[in-house]
């Protein structure tokens, strides 16, 4: 069964305009987004778990360009390799310690709100690697979070995704499952700034 495809537009030039010119983004505080993730389809349909995103830094424009170039040069394998060298925070599903949030891209959204696009390298199980299951071709986790100006919001989560590049700057994210999970009741506290 083919996963549902979601097109994600990451216009590198637009990102460069939104972020200042420095080559690195620096931590100036910590932002925490807490809520609930609810499965919509598959074996986790109807189940809910706590969700947390801890952001220590936003991914700078030059790093977004680096990810785009990696995807262009070597496809998803090169993207995962480049992501593995980045660290923007942590993603926690349930009560575990979670995994590093390799890239957190912040964009202006709505009336004073923020859209966070999160990419992380998911943990592949021994079973997936040993038996070469189809899910092993989906090594990236992906989330889109929409926060209003008061820090409340919702979003979607794809815990196992495949990423392709279209037309040079459009990222297409394919879900291993049928539908992405929902992120509900999100509340953001703290702040991270790029300076």
| Residue-range definition of the domain harbouring residue 61 | 5-18+30-187
Q: Is residue 195 assigned to a domain?
A: no
For the record, the structure tokens of 110 come out as 């709505």
Average per-residue pLDDT for the chain:
80
Q: Is residue 24 assigned to a domain?
A: no
Q: Is residue 154 assigned to a domain?
A: yes
Task: Quote the CA–CA distance of 194 and 192 in Å, as a whole number.
Answer: 7
Q: Is residue 69 assigned to a domain?
A: yes
Q: Is residue 194 assigned to a domain?
A: no
| Residue 88, φ and ψ in degrees, nearest 5 | -115, -5
pTM of the model: 0.78
88-125 residue pLDDT tens: 999 999 888 889 999 999 999 988 999 999 999 986 55
142-177 residue pLDDT tens: 999 999 999 999 999 998 888 888 887 788 888 887
Task: Quote the CA–CA distance of 78 and 59 in Å, as a whole number.
Answer: 18
Cβ 57 vs Cβ 29: under 8 Å = no
Q: Is residue 193 assigned to a domain?
A: no
9-63 residue pLDDT tens: 333 333 433 333 333 334 457 999 999 999 887 667 778 999 999 999 999 999 9
Q: Is residue 148 assigned to a domain?
A: yes
Q: Is residue 46 assigned to a domain?
A: yes
Q: What angle do CA 39, 156, 99 make, to 5 degrees?
A: 85
Domain count, the chain: 1
């Amino acid at each position: 069964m083919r996963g549902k495809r979601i097109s994600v537009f990451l216009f590198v030039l637009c990102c460069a305009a939104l972020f200042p010119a420095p080559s690195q983004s620096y931590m100036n505080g910590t932002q925490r987004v807490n809520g609930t993730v609810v499965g919509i389809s598959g074996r986790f349909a109807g189940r809910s778990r706590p969700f947390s995103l801890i952001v220590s830094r936003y991914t700078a424009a030059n790093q977004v360009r680096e990810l785009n170039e990696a995807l262009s040069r070597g496809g998803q394998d090169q993207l995962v390799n480049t992501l593995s060298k980045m660290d923007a925070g942590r993603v926690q599903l349930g009560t575990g310690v979670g995994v590093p949030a390799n890239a957190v891209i912040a964009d202006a959204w709505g009336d004073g709100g923020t859209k966070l696009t999160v990419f992380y390298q998911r943990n592949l199980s021994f079973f997936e690697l040993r038996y070469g299951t189809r899910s092993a071709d989906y090594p990236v986790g992906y989330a889109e979070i929409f926060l209003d100006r008061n820090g409340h919001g919702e979003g979607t989560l794809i815990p196992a995704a495949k990423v392709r590049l279209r037309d040079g700057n459009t990222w297409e994210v394919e879900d291993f499952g049928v539908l992405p999970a929902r992120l509900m009741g999100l509340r953001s506290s703290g702040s991270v700034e790029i300076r």
